[in-house]
Amino acid sequence: MRAGVWVLMLMAGSAIAAEWNQYGGEGGQQYTSLDQIRADNLQHLTPAWTYRSGDLNEGFTYKAHSFQANPVFWEDKLFISTSANTAIAVDAATGEQLWAFDPELPREIAYSESASRGVSLWHGASSVCPDRVLLGTLTGMVYALNAETGQLCSDFGDQKGWVDLGATAGASGDWLGDYSVTSPPVVVGDQLIVGSAIGDNQAVESPLGIVRALDVRTGSTNWIWDPIPRAANDPMRSEWAGNSADITGAANVWAPMSVDEELGLVYVSTSSPSPDFYGGERLGDNRYANSLVALDVKTGTVAWHFQLIHHDVWDYDIPAQPTLTDIRRGDVSIPAVIIVTKTAMLYAFDRRTGMPLFDVEERPVPVSDVPGEELSRTQPFSSIPPLASHAALTEDDAFGVAFFDKRECRNILREFRSEGIFTPPSLRGTVQSPGYAGGANWGGVAVDPVRQIAITNVNQIPGLVKLIPRDELDDLRASGELEGWQISRQTGTPYVMARRIFLSSLGMPCTTPPWGKLVAVDLLGGEILWDIPLGTIADLAPAFVPNFKWGVPNIGGAMVTASGLVVIGAATEHLLRIFDIHSGEELWSHRLPTSANATPMSYAVDGVQYIAIAVGGHEGLGTQAGDYLMAFKIGVGEIKK
Answer whether residue 311 shows pLDDT above 90.
yes
Residue 362 is predicted with a pLDDT of 98
Phi, psi of 28 (to 5 degrees): 70, 20
Residue 309 to residue 551: CA distance in whole angstroms: 27
Mean pLDDT for the stretch of residues 263-275: 98
The neighbouring-strand residues paired with 566 are: 560, 579
Decide if 239 contacts 273 (C-beta within 8 A).
no
pLDDT digits 0-9 by tens, 353-391: 999 999 999 999 999 999 999 999 999 999 999 999 999
Chain CA centroid to CA 315, Å: 13
Residue 10 is predicted with a pLDDT of 39
Q: What is the DSSP string of 350-401?
A: ETTT--BSS-EEEEE-PPP-STT----SEEEEESSPPSS--PPP-GGGB--S
Answer whether residue 542 shows pLDDT above 90.
no
Q: Is 619 exposed, middle or buried (0-12, 13-18, 19+ CB in 10 A)?
A: middle
> What is the band of 8 on the pLDDT scale with cuts at 50, 70, 90?
very low
Q: What SS3 state is found at 103?
A: coil
Q: Which CATH architecture has domain 3-634?
A: 8 Propeller (2.140)
Please report how many Cα atoms fall inside a 13 Å half-sphere around the Cα of residue 369, on the Cβ side. 11
pTM (2 decimals)? Answer: 0.95
Decide if 404 contacts 292 (C-beta within 8 A).
no
Residue-level length of the chain: 641
Answer whether residue 262 shows pLDDT above 80.
yes
DSSP secondary structure letter of residue 423: P
Residue 13 is predicted with a pLDDT of 36
> What is the band of 83 on the pLDDT scale with cuts at 50, 70, 90?
very high
pLDDT digits 0-9 by tens, 586-620: 999 999 999 999 999 999 999 999 999 999 999 88
From the CA atom positions of the chain, what is the Rg in Å? Answer: 23
Q: Which residues are catalytic?
A: 315
Q: Is 332 exposed, middle or buried (0-12, 13-18, 19+ CB in 10 A)?
A: exposed
Phi, psi of 225 (to 5 degrees): -125, 130
Residue 299 is predicted with a pLDDT of 98
Residue 545 is predicted with a pLDDT of 65
Residue 357 to residue 526: CA distance in whole angstroms: 9
- Chain mean pLDDT for the chain: 93
Residue 98's region, left for phi above 0, alpha for psi from -120 to 50, else beta, is alpha
Residue 11's region, left for phi above 0, alpha for psi from -120 to 50, else beta, is alpha
Q: Percentage of the chain surpassing pLDDT 70?
A: 95
Residue 608 is predicted with a pLDDT of 96
Answer whether residue 551 shows pLDDT above 90.
yes
Phi, psi of 396 (to 5 degrees): -70, -15
Residue 171 is predicted with a pLDDT of 65
Answer whether residue 18 shows pLDDT above 70.
no
> What is the band of 15 on the pLDDT scale with cuts at 50, 70, 90?
very low
- All residues at 6 or more sequence positions from 334 whose CB lies less than 8 Å from its CB, including other chains: 326, 327, 328, 350, 357
pLDDT digits 0-9 by tens, 56-70: 988 887 777 789 999
Q: What SS3 state is found at 68?
A: coil
Flag the least confident range among 14-23, 134-143, 159-168, 295-304.
Answer: 14-23
CA dihedral 256, 261, 262, 268 (to 10 degrees): 30
Decide if 554 contacts 499 (C-beta within 8 A).
no
Residue 217 to residue 587: CA distance in whole angstroms: 46
Residue 541 is predicted with a pLDDT of 67
Residue 113 is predicted with a pLDDT of 79
Q: What SS3 state is found at 554?
A: strand
Decide if 178 contacts 166 (C-beta within 8 A).
no
pLDDT digits 0-9 by tens, 490-536: 999 999 999 999 999 888 899 999 999 999 999 999 999 999 999 99
Q: Percentage of the chain surpassing pLDDT 90?
A: 85
Listing from the earlier edge strand, what are the strands of the sheet with 265-269?
258-260, 265-269, 291-296, 302-307
Kindly report the number of other CB atoms within 10 A of residue 500's CB atom. 15
For the chain, domain boundaries = 3-634
Closest CA to 210 of 224, 199, 198, 197: 224
